[in-house]
Structure 1
Amino acid sequence: MSLSQVDVEEVRSPEPLAVDTAQFLRIYVVANPKSGQNSRAREPIEAALEVFGDEAKLYRWAPDEEVSKAVDRAIADGAELIVAAGGDGTVMAVAQAMLGKNVPMAVLPLGTFNFFARGLRLSEDATEAARQILKGDTRQIRVGTVEGQVFLNNASLGIYPKILKAREAIYARWGRHRLVAYWSVIRTFLKFQKPMKVEFRTEDLHDTRSTPLIFVARSAYQLDFFGLRGVRAITDDKFAVLIAKGKTRGELFRLAWRLVTRQVQEGRDYDVLRCREFTVSLLDKRRALLAFDGEKARMNAPFEFRMHPEPLTIVIPEESEEA
């Protein structure tokens, strides 16, 4: 199903910048230090560096330093293009460091799900993705923030951050596989007790609700992937805020099954708010686990979701105008 089929109105493509990535000589790849510890990550990075050419370099940030320091080092060394090598969490961290910089960014997908890279229509084969980057165009996109933290795909509170917490323990025992990730969903649902009580505000709405999940989306691809509404909000530089309606374990399992089979329905299973600003307060607690692009942190409420004022310049494949 194409993106334009999800919402009736046409999805618009931004105009390209006057940048030819094929002319970049200094392409610097920024990678998580852990990605070099196994061949699953090391070999794809080496393959991509070979495609990028002799001028390409690899930068890793130390375990005790911020990603921004590796990005700043690469730019100071003359980088003309920064390539984030990793999964959605690594890409998110590099993107936060790249905002406000006069250097474009590209993505080499090496994660489990790679939703951001797949939304750009990048191949999950490192060699092919590197070739796409060399031939790609640049676009300026808007990214979301929550309490100063950038996110590219989504941010959420409620049961999904708990799924991510359970996933970490399962990954540590069984490895990082998509099937293992799905088991973390079942495990978390079985422990579900009650929904959150929240109060939220948008530019023109104030309401209270009991819900197991608030999902703030900035990825049209991810919405389309699960058959969810809200793509037009993304193309209009807004958030698509999905508020789930399940309040019991049984309702959560039914909702999960409808997601897998693409039978979810707006109104029955969830509501959608389309907004540029979204603030949510918790009525039954002060702190909550917040998730953003696969990462998580415990923060104090209220949570304020905003568009970052500066655009992110990103490389997309030349054949992917709909991205």
Structure 2
Amino acid sequence: MADPIAARPTPDRAGIRVICNDRSGRNSREREAIERAMEILGPGAELRHVKGRDIIPTAERAVADGAGTVVAAGGDGTIMAVASALKGSGCQLGVLPLGTFNFFARGYGIPEDPEAAARVIAEGHSEPIDLGTVNGRIFLNNASIGVYPAILKERETVYRRWGRRRIAAHWSVLKTFWRFTRPLKVEIEANGERRAFRTPLVFVARSAFQLEHFGLQGADCVRQGGFSVFIAPDEGRFGLLSDAVRLAVKQMRLGEDFEMICADKLEIHVKRSRQLVACDGEKFPMEGPLHFEMHRDAFRLILPGRDARDAA
């Protein structure tokens, strides 16, 4: 039997609701880009500026109001929040990238320029996509425990002082690595095995583009519908700093700088029952153990046609 989501060309809905993270569009350049994007989307599109905590309820309201397309205007965290509200709803997801890295948009060939991305949304070509989940919460690119949630906390401080710049993001990584001294004791159950690790970081990847961007292995595992799970060795702060440098120059070594597991389902057991988990740049406390599963055909994503993606 054909999958009903995959078989249906477009949802039986109408209208476009654009949800813009209030942190985005603050400078004049971003505001102008959003205004041009809205002109391209036309009079049937409605723009809502909301704070981060209001993104999910606003997206849920758009679904309840009968919007055919809900557009996330912001970074990967904003897109993740909107996507979580659309899962299984029949709504299409559009993306106007306004983030620091935009790994999700870039991975699907969506232009980083909001005006060009709006043209993609206006054309309306959509395809069903798979998403990863951890304890039922979806994520687009990655989920992790250990040092990365600490990096996000430091990044917020750096951004407040220096602005949302890529160099500021990299600086927050180095500062956190230097200060981090508490590795985790975890047991990972996957592919019929349960193994114990002492590690500062478990990183579960779902973006082939992000892996290739950093010169990491595992993209084939992601493309085949699984997770690439990276476990860093416990080598102290100098080992973390060394790994950060290798990551920056794309020379990370499988078996030396990290161990990798490929699986479409896994369970991570941590000593503490409550664990801080980073998902696409946002932090969430979760009860252990952590269950990772794939959600197939979660919703339809509006993206460039195949010819445009092949030409990019």
Segment drifting more, 272-281 vs 303-312: 303-312
- The 1:151–1:214 alpha-carbon spacing in structure 2 relative to 1, beyond 3 Å, is same
Q: 2:43 aligns with which of 51, 54, 65?
A: 54
**TM-align CA RMSD:** 2.5
> What residue identity is the alignment partner of 1:188?
T
For the residues of structure 1 that align with 2:94 and 2:309, how far apart are their CA atoms?
14
- The 1:268–1:234 alpha-carbon spacing in structure 2 relative to 1, beyond 3 Å, is same
8 Å CA contact 1:104–1:315 kept in 2: the answer is yes
Tell me which residue corresponds to 2:284. 297
Is 2:294 aligned against 1:312?
no
1:58-97 equivalences under 5 Å are 58-61=47-50, 65=54, 67-97=55-85
Is 2:22 aligned against 1:33?
yes
For the residues of structure 2 that align with 1:322 and 1:242, how far apart are their CA atoms?
32
Is 2:210 aligned against 1:218?
no
Shift of residue 289, structure 1, vs aligned partner = 2.1
8 Å CA contact 2:274–2:288 kept in 1: the answer is yes
> What residue identity is the alignment partner of 2:292?
F
For the residues of structure 1 that align with 2:265 and 2:53, how far apart are their CA atoms?
33
> What residue identity is the alignment partner of 2:282?
E
Q: 1:245 aligns with which of 217, 233, 239?
A: 233
Tell me which residue corresponds to 2:92. 104
For the residues of structure 2 that align with 1:63 and 1:306, how far apart are their CA atoms?
26
For the residues of structure 2 that align with 1:322 and 1:160, how far apart are their CA atoms?
35
- The 1:77–1:136 alpha-carbon spacing in structure 2 relative to 1, beyond 3 Å, is closer
8 Å CA contact 2:232–2:258 kept in 1: the answer is yes
Q: TM-score, normalized by length of structure 1?
A: 0.87
Q: TM-score, normalized by length of structure 2?
A: 0.89
How many residues in Structure 1 have an aligned counterpart in Structure 2? 305
> What residue identity is the alignment partner of 2:17?
Y
Show structure 1 runs of 5+ residues with no match.
1-15
For the residues of structure 1 that align with 2:148 and 2:53, how far apart are their CA atoms?
28
| SS state at 1:111 partner | coil
1:239-278 equivalences under 5 Å are 239-278=227-266
Shift of residue 236, structure 1, vs aligned partner = 1.8
Shift of residue 188, structure 1, vs aligned partner = 0.6
> What residue identity is the alignment partner of 1:288?
Q
> What residue identity is the alignment partner of 2:33?
P
Tell me which residue corresponds to 1:132. 120
- The 1:227–1:193 alpha-carbon spacing in structure 2 relative to 1, beyond 3 Å, is same
- The 1:141–1:321 alpha-carbon spacing in structure 2 relative to 1, beyond 3 Å, is farther
For the residues of structure 2 that align with 1:259 and 1:87, how far apart are their CA atoms?
22
> What residue identity is the alignment partner of 2:18?
V
